[in-house]
Every structure is written in C-alpha cells, then in structure tokens.
Amino acid sequence: MNRAVIARRRSRTRGWLVCAALLVAACSRDGDAPDAKAAPRAPAVPVAVSEVVRRDVPVQLRVIGNVQALATVSVLSQVNGEVFQIHFAEGQEVKTGDLLFTIDARPFEAALSQARAQLAQHQAQVAQAEANLARDTAQYENARVEETRYKRLADGGFVAREQYDQMRTNEQSLAATLAADRAAVQTAKSVVQADEAAVDNARVQLSYTQIRSPIDGRTGNLLIHKGNVVKAQDVGNPLVVINRIHPVYVSFAVPERYVEQLGRYRAAGELRVEAGVPGVSKAAVGDLSFLNNTVDPATGTIQLKATFQNADNTLWPGQFVNVVLTLYTERGALVVPSRAVQPGQQGTYVYVIKSDLTVESRPVTVALVQGSESVIATGVAAGDRVVTDGQLRLIPGVRVEIKPAEPAAPAPKTTTPLGQR
C-alpha cells in the first residue's frame, strides 16, 4: 500500500475521533445541566432549647393541708351565777392565768363565812370535850388511888367491905366516863375535819367566780355578756373558745407508699415542711412532728402533722394551705425541663443539639420527676442542650434553628409525686 492511501486513512480516523470527542462533550454538557441547578436546602426547624445543669435538687411532696390549733379550750363556768365582769376583748391574745370573767361572788362569800363559823363552833366543842376529858382523868386517878387504899383497909379489917365496894364502883364508873370523854374528843375532832373540808370547798367555789385562761392563746367570739346568768358545766354554751396558735399544727395526708421513706428520712433527722398561704409570698417553715400509727383504709393515706412556731400569725386554724414536705436533697443532680423528655418505643429519650445545629436522639434514664423538672440518671451531661419544644417535627440529623428564650414562667403550684428510688 502506498503512502497516499495510508495518509488518507489516518486523516479519516482523526476526523472520527474529533467527532466522537465533540459528541461526548455535548452529551456531558447536557448531563451536567441538572446538577448545575442544585436542589434547594430544607429549612431549619425552629425549636426551644434548655441547657442540662448540675445542681442540688430537693426531693419534695406537695399536698394540701389544714391548719389546726395546737390546743383548743371551750371556757365554761364551774358555778351557777351572774356574769359580773368581762376582762378581755374578742380576739385578744391572753396568757395562762389571765382573768377572763368574774361571776357574782356574794353567795359564795356568804357560804364561805357560814362554813368558817361552823368550823369555829365545832372547834370550841373540841376544846370543851378535851377539858371534860382532863377533868374526868383527874377524878379517875383520884378514885383509883382511893380504891387501892380501901382495898388494903378492907383486907386488914379496918373498914367495912361495903365501903371498899363503893370506892371500887366509883373507880369503874369514872373509867367508863373517861372512855366516853375520849370518844367525844375524837368525834368533835372528826366534825372539825369535816368543817375544814367544807371551808376548803366553799373557798374553791368562791375561786370559781374568777374564770381565768387555762392556756396561752387567742380568744374567739364572746358568746356570753355581762349580766347573763350562766350554768355550771354547760358544755353546749361555752363562754368563749380559746385557740393556741403559737405554735400551730398543719395536718395533711400523703399516700401510703411513702410510709417507709418517711420513717427512714425522719429517723435520719428533722424533715422540713413549708406551708404556703395563697396570696402570701413567704411560706411558713416548720418541722414534721407527727406520723400517725395507722393508714386510713378508706383513702389509702397516712396522716402527718407539722409544727410551726407561727410567730408572725401567718397561719390560722381552719385555713387550707399548700404543704411542701422536703424528704431529702439530691446532690449534684443533672436537671432538664420535664417537657424535654419524650416517650418512645425503646423508652424515654431527649433530642440533643450538636455543634453543627443538627439534632440526635439520646435515650435517657429518669431518676425522678420534681415539678416541671426531671432528674436524669444517664444519657446526658452537664452543658448539653436539649430540645424543649418542637420535637414533633424532628428526626435525627435535622438542622434546627434555636428560638429566642421566652420570659420565665411562674413557678408551678404542684409537683409530680415522688417516684420510688
């Protein structure tokens, strides 16, 4: 084959290669056209977040309680009579022994004077009986001496036997008189003792005309007025009711499942109790002082009482209060808002925001729920940011946009019951 033919074939081959290259380039430009227009990125999901913090958490029970007076006394009269004077005002603070009422004392003063006069009369009779005893004792001694002398004379034949018999009879008669005198003295003394008891009783009855406060406390409504006649021990009509409110009790009940914990933590030390009154910013603080010895089978609860000093009169008997009983304090607990914890098929989890503003799902173990907060045992670390709102639109790997924090809401009034530890 000559060189001209070879040259023509090479030229034709180069042409085909150029055409193929151009075709491939055109196809490449047509295939790259969709990639040149990148698909629009999905918008970030707006979420609210909160940081996991480590702090001490008091474990508390929150219930409704009722304020009770430490002691309540219905003041009654112990004698019949007219109310002569009232020495206090309604609602006044009184001390033990303060004079409250005076009953007309004149009938009782007269009875005391009569009892004293009778005592004096019988005391004089005792003196008379003792004088008679002394006189008859002297006569008996003389008669005994005479009887002894006449017996010797009669035995010697110096006097007639009849004279000795007279002396002996006289001595025996005086001995009997002496015994009677001694009995009379004892009788008179017994009468005097009865009179002394009557005087004491009359004195006590007279003291009942002054009605004094048996306790420290605050008086209630005045139920009787000056000039009214009162009856002794009229239980249905007290003169006034006094409540002791320094200190004061708050009674409340908790479910029976907390009995073991209450006993355990109470044995370790005093349990702090707070009582909040609606409308009052500062809660009263007291100590748990009573744990009932039985569970109410009708309600499945056990009654407790806390004692409050109530120096500022925050608590009043009959009032309903919000009770917060602190069992113990969880030291250095990991705390997240309870709304961050979500239920799932594999258990509870939270969405944690990573550094690239995407989220991941982490399983967590909730140790306890305390109000609007949950204490996490495992699954997160201090400083992690967890999603608290917007979880419904999230899946692992989704980008998020953090919404500005909203103003803090008021503290919740109730607390989710404590879980078993």
pLDDT at res. 418: 42
pLDDT at res. 16: 47
pLDDT at res. 407: 57
Domain edge (last residue) among 330, 355, 383: 330
In a domain, 79, yes or no: no
Contact by Cβ (8 Å): 218, 245: yes
Question: CA-CA distance, 286 to 251, in Å (whole number)?
Answer: 12
Domain edge (last residue) among 330, 359, 375: 330
In a domain, 176, yes or no: yes
In a domain, 353, yes or no: yes
Question: CA-CA distance, 174 to 392, in Å (whole number)?
Answer: 122
In a domain, 34, yes or no: no
* Domain range enclosing 290: 62-71+244-330
pLDDT at res. 372: 87
In a domain, 362, yes or no: yes
Query: Residues 116, 203: one domain?
Result: yes
Query: Residues 193, 257: one domain?
Result: no
CATH number of the domain residue 250 falls in: 2.40.30.170
In a domain, 398, yes or no: yes
In a domain, 12, yes or no: no
* Closest listed residue to residue 278, CA positions, set 325, 321, 314, 323: 321
Write down the pTM of the prediction.
0.66
Query: Residues 195, 268: one domain?
Result: no
CATH number of the domain residue 344 falls in: 2.40.420.20
Q: Three-state DSSP class for 421?
A: coil
In a domain, 376, yes or no: yes
* Closest listed residue to residue 391, CA positions, set 383, 378, 382, 400: 400
Contact by Cβ (8 Å): 313, 336: no
Query: Residues 260, 340: one domain?
Result: no
Question: CA-CA distance, 70 to 250, in Å (whole number)?
Answer: 9
Query: Residues 259, 316: one domain?
Result: yes
- Strands of the sheet containing 81-86, edge to edge, are 210-212, 99-103, 81-86, 229-230
* Closest listed residue to residue 303, CA positions, set 325, 285, 284: 325
**β partners of residue 53:** 335
Residues of the chain with pLDDT under 70: 1-41, 406-421
pLDDT at res. 178: 86
Question: CA-CA distance, 195 to 121, in Å (whole number)?
Answer: 10
Task: Determine how many CB atoms are found less than 10 A away from the CB of residue 259.
Answer: 15
Question: CA-CA distance, 179 to 136, in Å (whole number)?
Answer: 10
* Domains of the chain: total: 3
